[in-house]
Amino acid sequence: MNTPRKLKGVIAILSLLLASGGAFAYDSAMAVAGSAATTVAIAPSALDESLELPSAAPGEVLRSLPPLKPIDLTLQADDLWQRIRHGFAMPDLVSDLVTDRQAYYLERPEYLIRMVERSRRYLHHIVEELERRGMPTELALLPMVESAFNPMALSSARASGLWQFIPSTGKNYNLSQNWWYDQRRDVVASTNAALDYLQTIYEMHGDWHLALASYNWGEGAVARAIERNRQAGLPTDYKSLSMPTETRYYVPKLQALKNIIAQPHLFGVSLPTIPNQPYFASVTKPAGIDLALAARLADTPLDEFRALNPAFNRPVMPGGGIQSINIPADRVDTFKRNLAGHDEPLSNWTTRRLQRGENLDSLAARLGVTGAKLREVNGIPAGWRVPVGHALLVPASAAARLPMTDADMPASRALASANGERVKVRYSKSGRTTIAKSAHKPRASRSHRAAATRIASRR
């Protein structure tokens, strides 16, 4: 949907108010906004109230806007949004692209609110980490740009998680990726890695806008763009660089979200309240426990438990690798008490190697499950053949009735037995396979950060 020119003019005035604290020249504001003075309702279907500018002289339009209230930084905020506002420290970017992105978000209030609702699980942890490191809290909004706060988001460039790490950069920052789990989706580990990376590229450039461009495009690409401008005698700031469209819009998206969250009432937006308190706590993970059982012990719906622990690829969390899980903060004591009183096996899964004369579908039938379910659990594409000797994750109770070999073992021991990594098997439709250890590989260059981070699930 094309944004009306008058709406963009109103948004431009609001942007200047936010960037200048309300003290800017009338002539400057009207030069941006044009001479339009009208009544505008922004996304009335999903917002509590519309932003109305009375038909009046241009000077009256500016005077009719609500005054900007000073922020008392000495008060402990009860609302997490207010705490985030207190920590804003990046220079503001004022441009037509910021105005355009503000209009984009305001025309899609359902999308904006959906991002905010997803963020409530993770924001407090991110803000705590940012403050601990002395970093600007605008960065807590970056997952809105990257993944819309969807930890399962996967881009066409194979970037994954809240912070959208591509595989090579994830490995460079010690985010393990194997058959059992992908730490690019781990809330705590990926946040630490993302903030480490952002600190590194900020120290490289000394400028947050250039650091953000590097996060999206790659620090090497930004460094080359800066050098091209320097040799041509051109400015080397973010606005002056030649860059891909995705990166050109990247910082304006973050600035647009910052503007809306800084003064939502100016835009007619009612943000859902997020309490300024931890949403989850990390506890030691029992060795080899099913996700469903852990959720039940925490008295937490399985979907909610998965949202807090999105790194796990399988229905069981094995004995090695990730050593902690995230539990809703008000359920930690419940989880520990229920775990202490649980005297049955922690996992209903085991591994069984495919034996000669078997195929996946025949084994599934003997286990009492469908072939499609067994493929889903093991991450095997439909129509691809599985070689004899390949270890499959299967229901333990059903597998106990079948012949077993010394190589078969409970899932709780499977990951630890492979020194933290599972043997990878590349399937082929012909049945021919390549088998290789996915152990410690050479680290890839940090400059391989993907420029393409558009995610289908954002739409």
pLDDT tens readout for residues 58-79: 555 445 555 555 555 555 678 9
What is the per-residue pLDDT for 48? Answer: 40
For residues 429 and 361, what is the distance between their CA atoms, to the nearest angstrom?
15
15-62: per-residue pLDDT in tens? 655 555 544 433 444 444 443 333 333 333 333 443 444 455 555 544
285-306: per-residue pLDDT in tens? 998 899 999 999 999 999 999 9
Show contacts of 34-40: CB within 8 Å, 24+ apart.
34/5, 34/6, 34/9, 36/5, 36/6, 36/9, 36/10, 37/61, 38/6, 40/6, 40/7, 40/10
- Model confidence at 6, in pLDDT bands (50, 70, 90)? low
For residues 185 and 187, what is the distance between their CA atoms, to the nearest angstrom?
6
Q: Where are the domains of the chain?
A: 80-267, 280-340, 350-437
145-200: per-residue pLDDT in tens? 999 999 999 999 999 999 999 999 999 999 999 999 999 999 999 999 999 999 99
What is the per-residue pLDDT for 382? Answer: 87
What is the per-residue pLDDT for 44? Answer: 37
Show contacts of 159-162: CB within 8 Å, 24+ apart.
159/450, 159/453, 159/455, 160/184, 160/185, 161/185, 161/186, 161/190, 161/310, 162/122, 162/187, 162/190, 162/191, 162/194
Residue range 342-367: average pLDDT? 92
307-334: per-residue pLDDT in tens? 999 999 999 998 777 889 999 999 999 9
- Nearest one of 121, 155, 125 to 140, comparing CA atoms: 125
Write down the mean pLDDT value for the chain: 81
For residues 300 and 89, what is the distance between their CA atoms, to the nearest angstrom?
37
Who wins on pLDDT, 215 or 3? Answer: 215
Please list the active-site residues.
146
Class of the CATH domain delimited by 80-267: mainly alpha
Protein fold of 280-340 = Membrane-bound Lytic Murein Transglycosylase D; Chain A (3.10.350)
* Six token digits for residue 446: 């940090």
